[in-house]
Amino acid sequence: MGKAIADEKMQPVLNAVNYLAGTAFTINKPVLAFMQRREEPRIQKLSAEADRLTRERELRKLSWSERQKLANLTSELTVWELDMMVANHLADHGRFLVPLQMDFRVVSIRCRSSTSRDRIISAPYSYSTATSPSAKRGCVT
């Protein structure tokens, strides 16, 4: 691959990735609000169950399955909270870029955001008409 880049055989691919990396996104605020409203009852239920298990843990030693359930609930609630904080922050700032990575083993392009779970906030993404300086700089991240 390094030789192909040095020989500029990869230049069309790199140009394409740079072009895609320069596509600005925005958070679709109505869709984000819908997601938050839709998930609120589920999040409240998970939170109540996590609180119950936490109180129960103070009274007695939890079984392995209860400890595992509490850990999973806590993890899911934490990830949801982080995803919503990031989505709300991005919504407040308007346009943003998402770094791209190329994986030559399977010749695919993966889109990664700063969050650990892209699928939660990928739904409210929409294309923006802005052009990015990163596309002009020719940066591949």
Q: Print the domain residue range for 13.
A: 2-137
For residue 103, name the pLDDT band (cuts at 50, 70, 90). low
Share of the chain above pLDDT 90, in %: 48
By the 8 A CB rule, do 99 and 136 touch? no
Angstrom distances, CA of residue 13 to CA of 38, 102, 103, 106, 122: 40, 10, 12, 14, 24
86 three-state secondary structure: helix
Predicted pLDDT at 91: 94
CB atoms within 10 A of CB 59: 7
pLDDT, tens digit, 9 for 90 and up, residues 38-87? 999 999 999 999 999 999 999 999 999 999 999 999 999 999 999 999 99
Could you tell me the two tokens for 124? 């409210």
DSSP notation for 24-41: EEEE-HHHHHHHHHHHHH
Quick one: 31 exposed, middle or buried, by C-beta within 10 A (0-12, 13-18, 19+)?
A: middle
Pick the more confident residue, 91 or 14.
91
Distance from C-alpha of 98 to C-alpha of 85, rounded to nearest angstrom: 17
pLDDT, tens digit, 9 for 90 and up, residues 122-131? 334 444 444 4
pTM of the entire structure? 0.61
Q: How many domains does the chain have?
A: 1
